[in-house]
Amino acid sequence: MKTFIEGLPKAELHLHIEGTFEPELMFEIARRNNISIPFNSVKEIEEAYQFDCLQDFLDIYYQGAGVLITERDFYDLTYSYLEKCADQNVKHTEIMFDPQTHTERGIAFSTVINGIHKACKDAKNNLGVSSILIMSFLRHLSEEEAFNTLKESLPFKDWITAVGLDSSEKGNPPSKFKNVFEASVKEGYIPLAHAGEEGDADYVWEALDILRIIRIDHGNNSLQDPVLVDEIVKREIALTVCPLSNKALQVVPDLKDHPLKKMMDSGMKVTVNSDDPAYFGGQVNQNFIEIQKALELTKKDLYQLAKNSFEYSLLNRDSKEKYLAELDAYYQQNIGK
């Protein structure tokens, strides 16, 4: 199964670029920028990556992001992740970035996006990995601050495909961002949002009906409401599920309790993703490997998860068909092995 997963063509649809910050690169960039970080070794950083909840993780996540200063820093961070995509047969990735994490520190929006965009462009040419960018609003900040970010993004509209909503979910419902999402859609951005990770099913309803999102990031707690599950299936809204993230943040105590298979059996369109791989113990292949083992997924299940990742990506139809044909050929060659 491990070999099958490693060779499986796939897309990653739920990935925060700031969450790919491996300890070695963090040290290198901190040294380059003469920034002091509260760790003396890579081992100390890894030991700090033990979390009890989403907020524990966010505290250290924002601390790590604080060493990113220059365009080169954002380039190096992004290109390092895209090299890992190439190694894992991730053919396409949809990268979330959090401008407010950086603009709040005085880093220009242009510095952030120029570095990320250049890395994406080079990775397409050098590694054959395609990518699109999702600009996420931080939900613990105000809608007014999100509007400022939207305004700052407009000169770079051609480089950004969608908007998202992330950070601390509880107490920050999707409805808080109704107006900025409406304005973002008017500017041509596709609406996506995290919902139902720590928030309950009501948050997912709000994301669907108020923000009118076309894909749910996480969505675990949708299962609290059978009517909601039916609605998600009816609307063909995919869920970008992140198994190792869910375990690390105690959304599920054990991967054997993960609802991914229940979601699939109920007709939901599920994808497997790494979320913040540097912090949660594994890139996308490791997520596939561990969830397969925990839930005893079949090759057919894994094929379906990979198929969903292309089908519910934001790629155009021609690109989807190209990747799906590659996936189908791989599956037919390996189904009996």
C-alpha pair distances (Å), 279 with each of 19, 40, 100, 156, 294 = 7, 18, 20, 29, 20
The pair phi, psi for residue 240, each rounded to 5°, is -95, 95
Q: Is 228 left (phi over 0), alpha (psi -120 to 50) or beta?
A: alpha
Instruction: Name which of 19, 125, 123 is nearest 75 in CA terms.
Output: 123
**201, burial (CB in 10 Å: exposed 0-12, middle 13-18, buried 19+):** buried
Q: Tell which phi-psi region holds residue 196, choosing left (phi > 0), alpha (psi between -120 and 50) or beta.
A: left
- Identify whether 144 is a catalytic site residue: no
Sign of the torsion angle spanned by Cα atoms 72, 76, 78, 83? positive
Tell me which of 18, 197, 206, 311 is the catalytic residue.
197
Give the Cα separation of 80 and 250 in Å (integer).
28
Would you name the residues annotated as active-site residues?
197
